[in-house]
Chains A and B, each alone.
Chain A
Amino acid sequence: MDRVDRILRGESSHGVATMDVVTENWDRSMTMEMWSLGTDYSLIRITAPNKEAGTATLKAEDDIWNYLPRVDRTIKIPASLMMGAWMGSHFTNDDLVKESRLVEDYDIEIAFDGAREGVEVWEFELTPKPEAAVVWGRITYQVRQDDLMPTWARYYDEDGELVRTMTFSDFRVMGGRLVPLAMDMIPHDKPGEHTSVRYSELEFDIDIDEDFFSLRALRSRGR
């Protein structure tokens, strides 16, 4: 699990992705540029559409700030809103923070080891550690054995109800690594809705340091 995480992230990364959000009420598409450093820092900046271009989200350790170019201010997302939707998508602010900490917050067991539809896979079962402040009751994660590529993750609530499924697809070599270029998040309580993220550029182990992920940088780079 840890190795899977490392492959997907690298020590640092930089990428460009488009995110399509389909909801009952509207569809929209956004283009964004993202940077990450280790598990603690990441920065996502919207580049299109124009209305939101420049809007940025900075994650530094456990905190998330949003930069709003229209008012030229940053605001910190309060703890109570960590489960709120990130930029109207089906990802939550919490996903940005916790996604990188699965290994720390959950006990991981191999629930299945064998072939599914002709592919050798592991299925991991992640149960929250007693002291971990997490929102999921359980997560299951399928990873292909030969190339360690994740294929899906299923998120269950505390009652064991499947809440959402994330699927990974379009595995290609980009930035020198085999990575899934497409991710789809499907919330099961909202039929017909989904969020799809697709990378168009990705590079790893770039020259970047912690200063890049400061609040000051968040503001100044936005102008």
Chain B
Amino acid sequence: MAGHFWWSIGWRNLGRNRRRTFITAIGLAIGYFAVVFLVGWAEGLQSEMIENGTGLVTGQIQVHDLEYRPERKIYDTIGGRDGSDVERLVQEIAADPAVAAATPRAYAGGLISSGEATTAGILMGADPQRALGVSRLMRGLVEGRIPEADANAIMVGTEMARQLEVGIGGEVILVVPAADGSMGNDLYTVSGIYRTGMTDLDGSYAVLPLSSLQTLAALSPDRIHEIAISTVDPWLAPEAADRLAAQLAPLGLDIEVEPWTRLRPEMLDYVRLAQSWYFIILAIVFAIAVFGVANTMLMATFERRRELAVMLALGTTPWRITLTVLFEAFALGLVSLVVGAVLTFPLLVWWHNAPPDLSWLYGEFTMFGALVRPVLRVEYNFEMAIWTGVALLITALLAALYPAARAARIPPADTLSGI
């Protein structure tokens, strides 16, 4: 009961000067809002980067022959020279709960030529339907359609189309050094043009049906270079990769199963760096707030020094005085937290679902080779939201320590006599 009593005093003291309480609470609430929102934006930017960096071509997990990376020689297909049972591999992988889609791919470097113009490109042989689930490249189609399986059709980027001066229905010649040492060459029809916004990519990647590329590069249908996998959540990729590696081990193929965190370590490093900044942001914001609250509490206790002196004179221990001030600060913190949450969460939900698009202000930009849209996308980070709430309450208590200590040391007689 006693505890409840001091609580009530602390709480009621907040009501003495409602305007002051409100302004202080708003200050703390904005601090809360700032931290949660900044973290949300940072997470949004990271998600955007990871999704685009892994979603365009890479996928979140890739399976290769152990020898394949980094040289990416045409000979180093999954299962070596003899290839592997591609269909079975893909199905086993697709059965994993974290896997959203898996697609086999083969690559060849070669020349793409149209009329007078010739350019070097990376030819990606993909299963057109399955690749849709893994690669956003296929969804970046701006003209025409995705090459149909088994057709001598090709999809090129806008930049390559520009360099070669071809449009839909145009004819290109592909020349590749094939796996048997010959020069594979054939005529292809441009069936689609994609755009990712990354000029390098749009100028170098061309997609054709897997079987068509295998014929061109003298690879048997069992020979592929890569299985690209998309996961339901990028952060599930490392775990899923290890699981898949263990699951596929009995097949006896010399393969590696690598998540994006190992394929693109620079992205992970960036995310880690950004996350280490969260607590620094938090510290800076509340370090500023702590002085505001301390000022308010000093004012509140100074204003009440006669009242406190009476309490002391009536036998209240200095510790109880300290406690009431701390309770008051804690109650202020709670109020601020409620205000902050009311301010933050609706906006967070709103901007998460409909991020403001700043394309009119900035163009798209790239980060670590990943295209990032200029949208203020926010992601939820409830863990950080809770930590920020805890930090807010600690800030309020910290700010009250000095005023509380001063309040406890008020000399009752001198104060009451008006000195």
Chain A interface residues toward B at CB < 8 A: 21, 23, 25-28, 51-52, 55, 66, 68, 70-71, 73, 75-78, 80-81, 85, 87-88
Contact = CB atoms under 8 A, between A and B. Distances in A.
B55 to A, nearest CB: 29
Interface string B96-122: 000000000000000101001011100
A140 B180 CA distance: 33
A66 B120 contact: no
Nearest to A66: B175
B152 to A, nearest CB: 11
Nearest to A55: B183
B352 to A, nearest CB: 45
B27 interface: no
B181 interface: yes
Contact of A68 (B120, B181, B185): B185
B182 A76 contact: no
B contacts with A: majority SS:
strand
Contacts of B119: 78
Contacts of B75: 25
B187 A71 contact: yes
A68 B182 contact: no
Interface residues on B, range: 10 to 19
Contact of A70 (B111, B180, B186): B186
B108 to A, nearest CB: 13
Contact of B181 (A76, A77, A88): A88
B177 interface: yes
B168 to A, nearest CB: 20
B127 to A, nearest CB: 25
Contacts of B30: none
Contacts, number: 54
Contacts of B173: 68, 71, 73, 75
Residue from A52, A70, A71 with most neighbouring chain B CB atoms (10 Å): A71
A23 B44 CA distance: 49
A131 B116 CA distance: 28
B116 A76 contact: yes
B329 interface: no
A73 B183 contact: no
Given A68-B173, A75-B173, A88-B181, A81 B120 contact: yes
B190 interface: no
Interface in B129-177: 173, 175, 177
User: Which 9 A/B pairs are nearest by Cβ-Cβ distance?
Assistant: A75-B113, A26-B181, A88-B181, A68-B185, A28-B181, A71-B187, A25-B75, A78-B118, A73-B173
B120 A78 contact: yes
B116 A28 contact: no
A65 B270 CA distance: 46
A71 B182 contact: no
Given A68-B185, A70-B185, A71-B187, A77 B180 contact: no
A78 B118 CA distance: 6
B208 interface: no
B404 interface: no
B118 A77 contact: yes
B118 A88 contact: no
B179 A25 contact: yes
Contacts of A23: 181
Contact of A87 (B180, B183, B187): B183
A221 to B, nearest CB: 18
Contacts of A28: 180-182
Contact of A75 (B118, B180, B182): B118
Given A68-B175, A75-B113, A78-B120, 9 more contacts: A28-B181, A68-B185, A71-B185, A71-B186, A75-B118, A75-B173, A76-B118, A77-B118, A88-B181
Given A73-B113, A81-B111, A88 B179 contact: no
Contacts of B111: 75, 77-78, 81
Given A75-B118, A76-B116, A77-B118, A88 B185 contact: no
Residue from B179, B185, B186 with most neighbouring chain A CB atoms (10 Å): B185
29 contacts: A25-B179, A25-B181, A26-B180, A27-B181, A28-B180, A28-B181, A52-B183, A55-B183, A66-B183, A68-B183, A68-B185, A70-B185, A70-B186, A71-B173, A71-B185, A71-B186, A73-B173, A75-B113, A75-B173, A75-B175, A76-B113, A76-B118, A77-B118, A78-B118, A78-B119, A80-B120, A81-B111, A88-B181, A88-B183
A138 B50 CA distance: 45
Nearest to B187: A71
Interface string B70-85: 0000010000000000
Contacts of B175: 66, 68, 75
A70 B120 CA distance: 20
Given A25-B75, A68-B175, A71-B187, A88 B182 contact: yes
